[in-house]
């Protein structure tokens, strides 16, 4: 591997994680809760019976927030990025 004098790093927030919420986390959680599987482990660690559905609800809200951001990004008009709010009419 050749040595480089400059490096670049990119950090990005990706809304594709919303698919992860539905496909992996939410669906599997719902399947387990229909059979009440593994609940005894969480209750043994001190969680109450209401904490588990509340956690699922919180994940649902997070999933909805990601979907809202994704939908807002798809409907944004790129021409709306620039607005001229200057009240003076001094053009040269």
Residue 60 lies in a domain: yes
Contacts of 70 (CB under 8 A, 6+ apart): 15, 18
pLDDT at 27 over 70: yes
Residue 26 lies in a domain: yes
CATH code for the domain in which residue 58 is found: 1.10.287.600
Separation CA 32–CA 26 (nearest Å): 10
Domain count for the chain, please give it: 1
pLDDT of residue 17: 72
Contact 15, 70 (CB under 8 A): yes
Domain with 53, as residue range(s), is 17-75
pLDDT category at 7 given cuts 50, 70, 90 is confident
pTM above 0.85, yes or no: no
Residue-wise pLDDT for 34-87, tens only, equals 998 888 999 999 999 899 899 989 988 988 888 888 788 777 555 555 455 555
Residue 89 lies in a domain: no
Residue 87 lies in a domain: no
Residue 30 lies in a domain: yes
Residue 68 lies in a domain: yes
């Amino acid at each position: 591997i050749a040595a480089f004098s400059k490096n670049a790093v990119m950090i990005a927030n990706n809304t594709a994680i919303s698919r992860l919420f539905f496909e992996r986390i939410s669906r599997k959680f719902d399947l387990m809760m229909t059979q009440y599987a593994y609940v005894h482990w969480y209750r043994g660690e001190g969680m109450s019976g209401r904490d588990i559905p509340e956690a699922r609800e919180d994940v649902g809200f997070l999933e909805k927030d990601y979907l809202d951001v994704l939908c807002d990004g798809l409907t944004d008009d790129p021409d709306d990025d620039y607005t001229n709010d200057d009240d003076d009419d001094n053009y040269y």
